Amino acid sequence: MICPLYLLAQSSPEDPYLILQDQTISFGDMHRQVIACERELRSYPQEVPLAIDSTNSIALISWLIASARTGHWIAIPSSKDPPQQRDHHLQQLSVYTPSLHWTLPPYLDDSIKPSSPSIIQSPRRRWCMLFTSGSSGSPKAVVHSFVGLWSSAEFSHRNLAFSTGHRWLQSLFLWHIGGLMIPIRALYGGASVVEKDPYIDLGSQVDRDRITHLSVVATQLDDLLQRDPNLSSLLGVLVGGGTIPSKLVERAHQRSIPIHTTYGMTELGSQLTTTPPHANLDVLQSAGKPLGDWRIQLSSNDEIKVQGSALFLGYWNGSSIEDPRDASGWFGTNDRGKMIDGRLYPDGRVDQMFISGGENIHPEEIEAVFHDQGIFSIVVPIPDDRYGQRPVAFVLTELSDEVREQIRTVLTNQLPKFKHPDAILSWPKNVDTYKPSRRTLQTIARERMERQ
């Protein structure tokens, strides 16, 4: 397979690829930058993942494309995690953190025609690694091949065309699978990626920069609907990342925003199912039908199990890639759901994990922070109009101002802010601490929070 960036640099060298606040990077520019990264990468070993810890989108995308040409693989850690925790996790996974992750090498060659760089087409060739929380709360290292994510881009394009002249706003971080897929889809269709302007709201930027495509979680869609911007340029808005409140879908539909409700996860290369263009409100209350060659099977407990060419390779444990598929080749998502008329209706987690504003939250991870302080706790999700769900903690201790401050300090040091409970509540007198019912606590939490 010839590198798609090289082909675009040949056919459309001046067309914009990355539209940033202070500059525009054409396909020709990016190809020259990738050549420089490619040459530097060849001095590093291919056997271990290299961490590219950068908020610079040009740098991150350049190293990624270069690694697809050289056979290296890139780990992209979250910038939201506390640095000490992130570094410790990378060390545990034997991820190499070279100095190249801070800077971009200068262009070494102005020519875009010296060779036809190829990308290894083996579907088992590891290319990039993203991190997502596992059942224990410890981030899992999800490994994808270029071939798999390229398939995901193709499946998306068939359902929601993204091609020359289109602009997709980079409203999600590149270390999110939903964010990473945006520049990959742009390569597939020869389209442009527009950097998010941190100084204006989402709707204002859609209007100013004539954005045609968006990927948002429920909270971002809610922000978009809070205002009354001109959204006439939009051709498609992917809405995913967890629970999407039905009233939010109704409001977007009433505003004629071209939303596509979708279901996916990091392991699935973003989209498993997505609704088609011009779907009616009934269809939009589902997550749509499987894209591309995805197949879905429901287990006896309604767990969503999948097969497809965009499925990840497995989890990196520091020495090898563990394949989590069963003997028949099915991957269990740990999500429950129903299939009605060929459409998927997700229905919560098999385990305790829930999603808040597009982020995975494991109650066990938050509980461990309390337990380390000698405080017994149970964390449960409650519905939230903005985030879908938010955590609330019940604790078995005297909640003095001093204790609350101590808990907040420890949470700040050990967890990103989105994992901090919205409320810390005293333990209900009518709930036993021996195998307490999380469902009962969830009901009590919802009632208490509604009274506040």
Q: List, for residues 250-301, the tens digit of each pLDDT value.
A: 999 999 999 999 999 999 999 999 999 999 999 999 999 999 999 999 999 8
Q: What is the dihedral of CA 206, 164, 61, 6, to 10 degrees?
A: -170
Look at residue 137 and tell me whether its pLDDT is greater than 80: no
Give the model confidence (pLDDT) of 339-352 as tens digits: 999 999 998 778 78
Highest mean pLDDT among 96-110, 179-193, 349-363: 179-193
Q: What is the domain class of 362-451 according to CATH? A: alpha beta
The reported pLDDT for the residue numbered 391 is 96
**Residue 240, Cβ density class (10 Å: 0-12 exposed, 13-18 middle, ≥19 buried):** buried
CA distance 294 to 330: 11
In this prediction, residue 135 has a pLDDT band, given cuts at 50, 70 and 90, of very low
Question: What's the sign of the alpha-carbon dihedral 95, 96, 98, 103?
Answer: negative
Distance CA 286, CA 344 (A): 6
Confidence (pLDDT) at 115 = 63
pLDDT averaged over every residue in the chain: 90
448 residue type, one letter = R
Answer CATH for 4-349 from 3.40.50.1970, 3.40.140.10, 3.40.50.12780, 3.40.350.10: 3.40.50.12780
pLDDT at 102 over 90: no
Q: Rounded to whole angstroms, how far apart are CA atoms 56 and 33?
A: 14
Instruction: Give the pLDDT confidence of 139-170 residue by residue, as tens digits.
Output: 899 999 999 999 999 999 999 999 999 999 99
- The domain ranges of the chain are 4-349, 362-451
Let me know: does 430 contact 444? Beta carbons within 8 Å. Answer: no
The pLDDT confidence band at residue 136, using thresholds 50, 70 and 90, is very low
